[in-house]
Structure formats: structure tokens, C-alpha cells
Chain A
Amino acid sequence: MEKSKNSGRAGYYLYILPGMLGFALIVLIPLIANFVISFTAWKGIGTPRYIGFQNYERLLVDAAFWGSIQHTLLFIISMTIVPIILGLVLAAVLFDYISAQFGETLSSFFRAGFYLPQILPLTAAGVLWGWILNPIGIVNAVLKAIGLDFMAQNWLGDASYALWAVSAVIVWIQVGYCLVVFMSGLARVDPSLYEAAELDNASWFGRFRYITIPMLMPEIFVVALTTLIAALKVFAPIYVLTSGGPDNATTVPSYLSYYHFFTTNRVGYAAAIATLQTAVTIMLGIFFLRMQSKQTEGGR
């Protein structure tokens, strides 16, 4: 009996094998290679030279790196916090107001509209935003045409606006993802809860605060985790919109790593940045998963 149970298990391992192989090839081996390279001086070709912790020592005093960490914190706000809040409110409005008052069709129309940026190729969207926001672009042309000249700014070129302009574009991209997950979560909530609350004269905000948010907690955690990881490794919007500029005002760690890998040919240093970034992401990921399992346990 015992033996047959074991051999049955062995059969299952065979099914995991392709996944494990893929994981090893595209995640594990490069991860280890990256870690090893981070202790070398290497130009990308030729033989790497072992230099101990020098790359990490340099990293600790690199102003560009610390600046990029600060920008990441801001991108956590624009990629995770703001889209979750906006997504929750919009989902609730679409679900129990627009849908109830104006019908399912209009609600679906808005949902699709908000989700659109998610299916647009990021590079194409980024190039378009670049045109829209440049000093002789559409935003400024419109502002000037309606007499609001003083509001026309050098959105992506002025260090005091660039980070906010990029953040706004990122919110535009992210909000649809949160919205769609939250709306599908709301479909699972028992309608009788809302009906009972309405009978008790609960306001819209009261229902939002005491029913929608608590019932959506599992979705909020999933969305928070995935968007947080996305914020920690954000690259494409920065690459397309500002290339880290103006004057490094929007640089993030992944862009800095890319910069050193491909342009300064300091591959070891780039690997050190990537290693540190990976470590932070994994730690935050574990923290969130713990929080989430605590939450679900508490829910039981």
C-alpha cells in the first residue's frame, strides 16, 4: 500500500518536470548567473574579473541609485495605491449605481473603456503620450487655445512636473486592471447584503465602506501584490516617456540597471543593481503573502 502510494507520487513529478525545466531555464539559472556576475567587473564580452563586494560598495554611495529608489516609492503610489483607490470607487459606482440606474450595457462600456490602456501596446501608448505632453503637443495647444496659457507646462521636460506627468500616465494604464478585478469580485458578493443595508437606510458611502471594501479584501490583496511588484520593476513607461530624464528626475532601478548593462558596459554593476532590486521585491512579496494568509485565516 505504502509503496504504491509512493510510486503514484513519482508519477506526478513527471508532470511538474516541464514547468520546473522552464522555471530553471528562464528564472533560476539567470537569477544565479546575475548574482554571480554582480561580484565581477565585466564588459559583457571577454572574461569577467572577480572583484568581491566592490559593485555593492559603489552602489551604496551612488546618488543616481538612491534617487531611483525614491522615485520607485512614488511609483508605488501611482501604480498601486492610487489605482486601487480609484479602481474601488469606480468599480462600486459602475456596479451599484451606473449598472442599477442605466443598465448593464453602459456599465460594460465604461469597464471596457477603462481597461483599454491595458491592452494597448505600452510602447505605442508611451509614444502617443510623449507627443501629447511635449511643449508643442496637444495638451499645451488645447490649454493655450482656451486661454489657460499659464497652465501650459513643459510636462516631461521640467523636473518638477516630469515625475507627476509620468505617474499620471501610469495611473491611466493601471486603473483598468484594478477595476476589472474588483468588478468581478463584486459579482461574487451576495446582493442581499446590499439590499439589507439599503433597507436599513445605509448611505452609498456606508455600503461602500462596510460591505464593498471588506468583501473585496482578497481581491485587494491580490491586486496590491501584483501591482506592487509591477511598480518595483517598472521600466517600459520610463523608457518610452523620459528615458529617466530630465536630469535623472524619473530614473528607476530597472532603468539604471539597463543603462549600465547596455551603455556603460558595466555589466557587473548592472547585475548588482538587479540583485538588490530582486531581493527587495522578493521580501515585499513574502511580506504581502503572509499578510494575505493572515487575512484569510482571520476571515474564517
Chain B
Amino acid sequence: MNVFSKLAVTAGMSLLLAAGVAQAQSKTFNVWWFELPDTSQAKAWTKALEELKAKHPDVTINFEQKTFDQLQKAGSLILNSDQAPDLLEYNKGNATAGLVASQGLLTPLDDQFKSRGWDKILNETNSQLSKYDASGIYGSGPIIGIPVHAEFVSVFYNIDMFQANGVRVPTTLDEFEAALDTFKQKGITPLAYGTVDSNAQHLLYTLALTQADDTWVKNYQGLKEPLDTKPFLFAAQKIVDWVGKGYISKDSTGLKGTGGADNLFSSGKSPMFVSGTWNNGNFASSIKNFKWSQFVFPTPKYSTASTGNLFMVPKGAKNKDLAYEFIDLILSKENQNLQANLGGVAIAADPASVTDEVGKRNVEIFNEISGKGGLGFYPDWPVPGYYELLIQATTGLVNGSTTPEQFADRLKTAYDDAQAAQ
């Protein structure tokens, strides 16, 4: 062999090696999510990963646990780089999913949605947040993400305290206020509330939804028109009234919902806590001294509720087929029922096959809300930065530094800004 042929062989070998490496790399399935390992979702999804591994023994599964904050703050930068995984869980909504969708960083899933039968599993209401248009607004446009669980805000209540004080589950806002008053008369602060995190706006928006109709919700969430503040003004006034009457403690402004107000409920100090299904696991394991349950806050139609975060396939994903197959697995009846049996709010579980008390109740409540098209979503979605603004402004209502009118003005200024900037 002369020098040239040796060189040629070496070159050929290294090319082959390089191709081999590339081949090996493409056999790694990279998947990220941020649900904490002890949640029902994460447990069910881990089970699905095992099934995927069993079907494809040659594939290396590379799962990375992320945090909500990591993806919230840097998600768009990661999706815009070559470091994006094959599949990831990402926060739904205009400011997050909508933003990356509008920048063309995701794979459209419309074909898979039909051919794999996902359209039979997710009804119209439940797939609203899967679609985003060219300016990143939900509701229309290509499907870019698939939800496999759901969440909703309801009223957690202490059955023992309700019975001891002769209070029945309220079915109207008036009855709800009467219940608050009964407890207050007995020297009990009826509502556990913390305004330092999202808990602030969950109660506020739930109250606003008592005044909202289809048009208002659609306009509000879709940034369709300048903000009609009436429902918010009503809600803000209610909160101020409730603080004045002692239904809400002024100390709420120093407490978080998670790791603060939730303790007031779970330790039996306050009989009610208006918050989301993410408390289920904590309450199921930590409350031993009393019986508790949930009821839907009395509103005409809408609840603070939505389908869960989305599984998305980034544009540059190397193993899209594996990503689709994994979505098949987590949408399957078995995996959905497993999630519900672990106490989770599965989006397509069959309540009849769920034995876990909390999971069964939550699947039923979600089906009831979704069945009447009552997903009111969350108040911070339409405007980037609204999450913090709502926390600050609601805190202002409780500690008296902001009047309901000023509150409505602050919301309107930021909203109309974002609406006009479209």
C-alpha cells in the first residue's frame, strides 16, 4: 500500500467511524419534564419510559429532570439552540408556548394528531391550548403540543369543621359568603390565603369568573380587545370587603400559597383554601386529623382551570418518531388510569376504572368542568409579566395600598399595552 492509498483508507475509516457515532447518537432519546418525581404525572410518565425502553432495547433513554423556572426563564433560548431535546414538557399559554410556537421552533403535530388517533382522545375544549397562531395566540393555528393531564382550582374544605359549625357546601356566591360569615362569627378565619405566589390571583380570578361570560373569557384570554375591567373590579372589591370583614387575614401578604397558606388549611386552622389540584398529593399524605374534600367554586360557567402543560417536539428533534410513540404511551387508557390512581388529574382517564378516592374525584370534577366548556384558564396568560403584576397588585388590595379602582387601572394599562403591541 502506498502512502496515498493508506491515507485514503484512513480517511474512509474515519468517515465510517463518524457515521457510526452519528448513528449511535441518533439512538439516544432525550426527554425533559419538570413535574417533580413524586407527582402522579412523573410516576406515570416514568412507567411509560420503561415501556418505551422495553419496545426499543437499542435506544438509550436520556431523561433530564428540569425545573419549571428553568424552562420558564430560559426555555425559548434552549429551543432556539441545538441543545433542544427530542421531547419536552413546556408551560402552555401565549407568553410561553405561544411565543416559541410563533418563532417556528416547534414541530407541527397536526398529521400525528389525526393519524395516531389523538383527536379521539382529546376533545375540542381540551385541545384549545395545543394550537397557536402566527402571533402566538392560542385557539387556532397548527397543533404544537399535547396535554396529558389537567388542573383546576377548586375549594378545598375541611368536612369536620363544616359539620361542626353547621355549614353546607355552598352552591351560590351568596351561600359562599354566608358560610364565610358563619365561621367568622365563631372566631375562625375562614379562608387560608397567601398572596406572595400564584395563590393571590387564583382566588381573584375565580371571583372575576363569577361575573364572566363566553365573550369576556374569549376576549380576555385571546387579547382580542382592550380590557373590560368590570369582572376584575368586582373581584377586587370582594377581596377588599373580605379583608375588612376578617374573612381573609391581613397576614396573607406575608404568606405563599404553597408552604404558607396551605399549612393553615392542612393544620385545621382555616376550613377553606381556594387553590389548585397540585395540592392533592400534599393534602392526601399530610392531613390525618380530619376529613377533607373539594367543591367547585360557584360560578355560572367558568372555573380557573386548564389542560396541563404540553408535550412538544422541538423543530430540531432527532428522534421525532420516538417522541410520537411516547405521547401514544402516555395518552393510553392504561397510563391515564394509572395517573389517576396515583391521585392525579388525568385528562382521559375512565373514572369507573379509577379506585383512588382523590384521583377519581378529580377526574370527575375535571370532566364536569371541561364537559360544559368551562375552562377559564389562568389570569396571567394573556400578558407577559402579568403573573408578577397580579401578585403585586393583589397584595396591594389586601394590605390596603391599592384601591379596587387603582387595581383595575394597573391591570388595564399593562393589558391594553400588550393588546395594542400585537
Taking A134-B255, A154-B254, A157-B251 as contacts, is the C-beta distance between A246 and B395 under 8 angstroms? yes
Residues of A181-197 contacting chain B, CB below 8 A: none
Q: Quick check: A44 and B392 within 8 Å, CB to CB?
A: no
The answer to the question of A296 belonging to the interface, with a C-beta cut-off of 8 Å to chain B, is no
The count of chain B contact residues (Cβ–Cβ below 8 Å) is: 35
Q: Quick check: A44 and B77 within 8 Å, CB to CB?
A: yes
The answer to the question of A46 belonging to the interface, with a C-beta cut-off of 8 Å to chain B, is yes
Residues of A16-46 contacting chain B, CB below 8 A: 43-46
Q: Quick check: B395 and A247 within 8 Å, CB to CB?
A: yes
Q: Can you name the residue of chain B whose Cβ is closest to the Cβ of A248?
A: B392
The answer to the question of B373 belonging to the interface, with a C-beta cut-off of 8 Å to chain A, is no
Q: Quick check: B388 and A246 within 8 Å, CB to CB?
A: no
Residues of A116-159 contacting chain B, CB below 8 A: 133-136, 154-159
Q: Quick check: A45 and B392 within 8 Å, CB to CB?
A: no
Contact residues in A for B387 (Cβ distance below 8 Å): 263
The answer to the question of A56 belonging to the interface, with a C-beta cut-off of 8 Å to chain B, is no
- Inter-chain residue pair count (beta carbon < 8 A): 93
Chain B window 377-388, contacts with chain A (Cβ cutoff 8 Å), 1 for yes, 0 for no: 000000111011
Q: Quick check: B95 and A135 within 8 Å, CB to CB?
A: no
Taking A247-B393, A265-B99 as contacts, is the C-beta distance between A134 and B399 under 8 angstroms? no
The answer to the question of A287 belonging to the interface, with a C-beta cut-off of 8 Å to chain B, is no
Contact residues in A for B263 (Cβ distance below 8 Å): 136
Residues of A85-106 contacting chain B, CB below 8 A: none
Q: Quick check: B384 and A157 within 8 Å, CB to CB?
A: no
Contact residues in B for A266 (Cβ distance below 8 Å): 384-385
The count of chain A contact residues (Cβ–Cβ below 8 Å) is: 28
Interface centre among B73, B383, B401 (most CB of A within 10 A): B401
Contact of B99 among A43, A158, A244, A245 (CB under 8 A): A43
With A157-B395, A246-B396 already in contact, 14 other A-B pairs whose C-beta atoms are closer than 8 Å: A45-B99, A135-B251, A136-B251, A155-B254, A157-B254, A157-B255, A158-B253, A159-B396, A244-B388, A246-B254, A248-B392, A263-B387, A264-B383, A264-B384
Binding site for A on B (CB under 8 A): 72-73, 76-77, 80, 95, 99-100, 103, 105, 195-196, 249-255, 260, 263-264, 383-385, 387-388, 391-393, 395-396, 399, 401-402
Binding site for B on A (CB under 8 A): 43-46, 133-136, 154-159, 243-249, 259-260, 262-266
